[in-house]
């Protein structure tokens, strides 16, 4: 963020963070071999819901089951929430959740 032109030009910047994508990015920091591959982070039998699943009425478990049947190659890794909040706080003094998977900083 320090190298962003907006930060140099303006005193204040509003940043929207898609927490689903950010959560995956934090988990992949130590997994460079997965760069460019589609990645889903799941825990137990639920996965993050997207707006499409809300519109179609597909629940989280059904979405996860569908994902499992379509993916032949699976890579398992540790569920990594550690570091996510620290990263956001290192960029900003203020963070506001605007929905269950989005925040403003």
CA gap 41, 98 in Å, rounded: 21
Residue 14 is encoded by which pair of tokens?
């509003």
- Which pairs count as long-range contacts for 84-88, CB under 8 Å and 24+ apart, including other chains? 84/22, 84/23, 84/26, 87/26, 88/17, 88/22
**Could you tell me the CA-to-CA distances from 24 to 4, 5, 48, 75 in Å, in that order?**
22, 25, 11, 13
| pLDDT for the residue 19 | 73
Residue 1: band (very low, low, confident or very high) from pLDDT cuts 50, 70, 90:
very low
What is this structure's pTM?
0.48
User: Could you state, in order of their start, the residue ranges of all structural domains in the chain?
Assistant: 5-104
Tens digit of each residue's pLDDT (9 = 90 or more) over 7-58: 566 667 777 777 777 777 777 787 888 877 777 666 655 455 444 444 555 5
The mean of the pLDDT values for the chain is 65
Please state, in angstroms and rounded to a whole number, the distance separating the CA atoms of residues 9 and 16. Answer: 18
């Amino acid at each position: 963020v320090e190298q962003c032109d907006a930060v140099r030009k303006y005193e204040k910047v509003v940043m929207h963070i898609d927490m689903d994508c950010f959560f995956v990015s934090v988990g992949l920091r130590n997994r460079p071999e997965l760069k460019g591959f589609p990645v889903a982070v799941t825990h137990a039998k639920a996965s993050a819901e997207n707006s499409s699943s809300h519109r179609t009425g597909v629940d989280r478990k059904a979405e996860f089951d569908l994902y499992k049947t379509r993916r032949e190659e699976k890579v398992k890794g540790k569920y990594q929430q550690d570091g996510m909040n620290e990263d956001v706080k290192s960029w900003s003094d203020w963070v506001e959740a605007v929905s269950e998977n989005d925040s403003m900083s």
